[in-house]
Structure 1
Amino acid sequence: MHRTPHRRSLRITAIATLALAVAALTGCSSAGSASDGKTFTILQYEDKTTAQGQGWQLALQIFKKKHPDVDVKFQTTSFDGFRKNAKLVLGGNKVPDVVEFNKGNADGGQLTSQGLLQDLDDQVTKYGWDDKITGSMQSFAKYDEQGKAGSGKWYGIPNVGEYVTFYYNKDKFKQAGITAEPTTMAEFVTDMQKLKGAGTTPISSSAAVNQGFNQMWIWYSLVSAAADRKHIDDFMFLKGKVDFSKDPWKTGTEEFQDWIDKGYVGKDLGGLNYEQATVNFLSGKTGMLIWNNGVFSRIKDQSTFGWGSFTLPGASMSMGSSGHLWGVPAKAGNKELAYDWINTTLSKRVQDKIGELGGLPLAGDTDAISDPVTKAYTQRFDEVVADDTLSFYPDYPVPGFLDFIQNNMSAMSNGNETADEYLTKLQQFYDDGKKTVNQG
C-alpha cells in the first residue's frame, strides 16, 4: 500500500498519464484540429470495465460504423490527471474534439468562465438533450458567465446519474448476527458495533490525499443525513451564508469523528486509495463499502459472497449527482462530429446497455432491465431523483476544494485533526473560495 509520503509519486503518475495523451494528440496528424473530419479525438477517463465504460465501447462501434471515413482516436487518461491539467490540454493549439470533464464550480466552472469550452445551447435544442437530462440532472450541465453552476448556458452533457450507497457482505452480516438491512441510523450504528465485535471492520474506507475518496464520502453522507434542500443548495450553488459551526455540518462532522475513533472505518487510512478500499471489500476483509454505481457491475461480477446495497438509513439527503460531463473544447476542429458522438452516447442502444449493467443511464428504460438486482438498484436511484434528495458531491463549490478536503480527511483519519479544527479550516477555505468564484 502507498503511504501518505508517496503522494507526490502518485500525482506524478497521474500527470504522466495525461502527458502521454497530450503527446498523442500532438503526434496525430491534425488530431483535434482537422477541418476535414478525417481524424476525431475523444479524451475520457472512465475505466472500460465499468457500466459506463462498456456503454461507451458500444457507442464507439456505432460511431465508427456511421463514420467509416473517420480515424477515431479513443484516448484514456486519469480523472486526477485531466482535472489538474485541463487548462493546459484545452488551451493548446491541438486539442481533443470532445472531452470528459468534472462537474462543479471548482472544475467545470473554471473551464467555462475562461472560454475553454463551447456552449451547447443550440445542440441541446437540436438533439432534444434537455428531454433526456431533466430536473437536478441539469444542475451541473449549466454555468453562468462567472462559472457558477445551476444556471446559464449548457456546457456539459451527462449521460448517467450517480448515487452513493453502502454495499454490504451478507455473509459478514449473518456472522455478526445481523438479520436484516438497517432502516434507521440507530440500527446502522448498532450493526457496525456488531460487525466490529465479530472481528470485521464495518466499512471499507480510504483517506490517501490522492484518490482516497471514501472518507470524504462518509463524512459528507453524514452531513447530508441531517441536511435539507436549502442547506445543500446554499452550500453547493453559493446561494447564501454557510455556517460550518452549526448543523448539519457540526453534527455530521462530529459523528464522522466518532466513527473514526470507534474504528468503524478501519485504521491506517492515509495510505489507502479508493481502489484498495474496493479490493478490501471484495476480498471479504470488511463488512461494507461506500461507493457509487461506478463499482456496481464489478461487485456483481467479482464478489464471491452474497451482497446487497442500501442508502444511509434515515438520511434526509443522499450523496449523488449527474455523472461527469461530455464537453466540446472551444478550439476543437470537429465540433459537428463531437455533437454526434455525444448524441450517440445518449442513444437508446447505448443507454439501455449501461442500464443493464447498473450504470444508471439518464435516457435508459428502467423497466427494460432484466436482472432483478440491477433493476432494484436503478429504481432506488429513480426514487431519490424524483424526491429531489440528492446532495451532490462536496468538492464542487469552490476551486481547490477536492485537494483541501482530502488533505483534511487524511488528517482527521490519522488522529491529527479534530472535528472542530477541520470545521474552522473549512469555513476559511470555503469563504475565500466563494469570493474567488464571485469575482469571476
Structure 2
Amino acid sequence: MAPITRSTARRSSTAVAALSAGVLALSACSGGGGGEQDSDTLVLWHYEGPDSAMAKAWDEAIAIFEEETGATVEFEEKSFEQIQSTASQVLDSNAAPDLMEFNKGNATAGFLASTGLIADISDAVAEYGWDEMLAPSLQTTAKYTPEGVMGGDTWYGIPNYGEFVGVYHNLDMFEAAGLEVPTTYDEFIDVLDAFVAEGTTPLAEAGAEYPLGQLWYQLALSQADRQWVDDYQLYENAVDWAGPEVTYASETLLDYLDAGYIASDVSSVKAEDAGVGFINGTYPIFVSGSWWYGRFIAEATDFDWTMQAFPETTLSLGSSGNLWVVPENAANKDLAYEFIDITMRPEIQAIIGNNGGVPVAADPADITDPKSQELIATFNGVLDDDGLSFYPDWPAPGFYDVIVQQLQGLVTGVQDPATTNANLGSAYDEGTAEFR
C-alpha cells in the first residue's frame, strides 16, 4: 500500500495509466541521454531527496565511480512523478538515461520490461554476482516474466536497499502505563486494551491513505502462508475473498474500531497526521513502514522508541526498495553496470544503513548507529523467515484507491466485512484478469 507522497508513491503500482500516457515532455527538459551522450559519460536519474540515506550513499558512489573509471556522471534529479508519468515516452527515444531509479512491481518495472523499454540485465547479474547478495524475496521484485509479472526468470533491475512494515512503540508511554513491549499477538491485544482502559487511543492510524490498508493486509498475513501470498501477488491460484485470511482481516479491523484501538474518525485521517501523532506522543503505537525510521530519529526525540516486526507472524509487508534499471536505449550500459556494482559495495551499503535506510548487502560490523542496528536486525529477521510479502495494492493498477475506499466504507459503517471483501474481490479479479 502506498502513501500519497513522493516516498509513498514509489511503493504503489497505481500509476500504470500514467506510464502509458506520457503526459509530461520530460525529454524536452533532459540534459542529454541515449545516443547523444559521450561514451565516457553516465547519465543517471533518480528521485531521492538529497538528505535521504539513499542519496547520501549514491553521492559517494558517484565520487568513487568517477575516480575509478575516469568517466563523468551527469546526474539529473527528477521527481517521482516526472519519471513515472513519462517513462514509456522518454525511454523509447534517444533521451533515455543510462541508468535510473524506478518503482518495482508489475504495473511499473514489470510494464517497462514487458514492452522492451528496459534491458534484460541477467548477464550482468551473473558477471557481478548480484544474485548472491540478494535474498529470494528481494529478487522477486527484480525479475519478471515476459508478461511483466514479478517473480519471473529474467532480471530487469537491481535493488540496493529494502523496506518493510513493523510496529513502532513509544517506550516512555509504555513505561508510564506499566506495560512491556508485546512479543505475542495476545500480549499485543492486552497492551491495546490497557491503553484504552486508561483513556488513550493506542494505534496511530489513517484511513484516508495507506496505513489502514497496510494494517488490514498485515492482519490477513497473520492468518496466511507463503502460498497465499504467491496467489495474491503472483496470480498462482485464485484468491478466495470469502476465505479465512481476508475475512479475519476485515472483521478484526472492525473489532479494533469498536474496541477503541483506532480513533473513530480514522476514515478522514491522512498518513502524515498519523505519523505526526506518533512523533508528538499522542499515540503509543504506529504500524507502518521503515521509511518513517529516519524521520523518527530526527524528530521523535522527546521519548525513547523502538520498532519490531508485527508480533507472532512470519509474514510482513515489505519488499526490496526501488530498482536500478537500465533502459534498452541506454548508450553506456557497461558504465551503468559498473555504477550498480559500486552501490552494492559494503562501504556504500553502510552509508545507507547508518542514515536510517535498510541496506541489502551491508556488513553488520559497518553499522555503527544503534537505532540503525536495531532496524537492520529486524529487517534481516524478516528476510531469514522469507517473510517479505509485498503490498496489498500491487496486484492490479488502481487497486490502491479501491482498498482505501472500501476500508473507509467498512470503518464508517456503510458496509459490513462481507460486502467489503466482495467489493475488493471484484476489483482485484477485474484488475488481474489479463495476468491469470
* TM-score exceeds 0.5: yes
- Quote the Cα distance in structure 2 between the aligned partners of 1:92 and 1:165: 41
Q: What is the deviation of 1:267?
A: 4.3
Q: Which structure 2 residues correspond to residues 327-346 of structure 1 after superposition, within 5 A?
A: 327-346=325-344
Equivalent residue in structure 2 for 1:429, among 423, 427, 430: 427
State the AA in 2 paired with 1:356: N
- Quote the Cα distance in structure 1 between the aligned partners of 2:257 and 2:97: 43
- Quote the Cα distance in structure 2 between the aligned partners of 1:244 and 1:430: 10
State the AA in 2 paired with 1:239: E
Q: What residue is the counterpart of 1:76 in the other structure?
A: 78
Q: Aligned-residue CA RMSD in angstroms? A: 2.9
> Which deviates more, 163-172 or 197-206?
197-206
Deviations along 1:57-88, one digit per CA (max 9) or x if unpaired, are 3223333444665352231313x664455434
Q: Which structure 2 residues correspond to residues 182-197 of structure 1 after superposition, within 5 A?
A: 182-197=182-197
> Which deviates more, 65-74 or 154-163?
65-74
State the AA in 2 paired with 1:148: V
Deviations along 1:284-316, one digit per CA (max 9) or x if unpaired, are 221122222222222123212111112111224
State the AA in 1 paired with 2:49: D
Q: Which structure 2 residues correspond to residues 116-265 of structure 1 after superposition, within 5 A?
A: 116-178=117-179, 180-208=180-208, 212-265=209-262
Q: Which structure 2 residues correspond to residues 46-65 of structure 1 after superposition, within 5 A?
A: 46-65=48-67
User: For 2:44, what is the secondary structure of its paired residue?
Assistant: strand
Q: What is the deviation of 1:23?
A: 5.4
Q: Which structure 2 residues correspond to residues 64-103 of structure 1 after superposition, within 5 A?
A: 64-66=66-68, 70=72, 72-78=74-80, 82-103=83-104
Q: What residue is the counterpart of 1:381 in the other structure?
A: 379
Whether the 8 Å contact between 1:32 and 1:332 is mirrored in structure 2 is yes
Q: What residue is the counterpart of 2:353 in the other structure?
A: 355
State the AA in 1 paired with 2:309: T
Whether the 8 Å contact between 2:24 and 2:86 is mirrored in structure 1 is no
User: For 1:105, what is the secondary structure of its paired residue?
Assistant: coil
State the AA in 2 paired with 1:193: D
> Which deviates more, 67-76 or 135-144?
67-76
Instruction: Give structure 2 stretches of 5+ with no counterpart.
Output: 5-14
User: For 2:75, what is the secondary structure of its paired residue?
Assistant: strand
- Quote the Cα distance in structure 2 between the aligned partners of 1:390 and 1:58: 29
- Quote the Cα distance in structure 2 between the aligned partners of 1:290 and 1:61: 37
Instruction: Give structure 1 stretches of 5+ with no counterpart.
Output: 5-13
Deviations along 1:171-191, one digit per CA (max 9) or x if unpaired, are 22223332x111222221221
Q: What residue is the counterpart of 2:114 in the other structure?
A: 113
Q: What is the deviation of 1:131?
A: 1.6
Deviations along 1:236-287, one digit per CA (max 9) or x if unpaired, are 1111121010111111221112223334233444444333322221122211
Whether the 8 Å contact between 2:22 and 2:89 is mirrored in structure 1 is no
Number of equivalenced pairs? 420
Superposition TM-score, scaled by structure 2 size = 0.87
State the AA in 1 paired with 2:262: V
User: For 2:159, what is the secondary structure of its paired residue?
Assistant: coil
CA gap of 1:85–1:175, structure 2 versus 1, over 3 A, is: farther
- Quote the Cα distance in structure 1 between the aligned partners of 2:250 and 2:86: 31
Q: What residue is the counterpart of 2:9 in the other structure?
A: none
User: For 1:248, what is the secondary structure of its paired residue?
Assistant: helix
Q: Identity across aligned pairs (percent)?
A: 35
Superposition TM-score, scaled by structure 1 size = 0.86
- Quote the Cα distance in structure 1 between the aligned partners of 2:258 and 2:322: 34
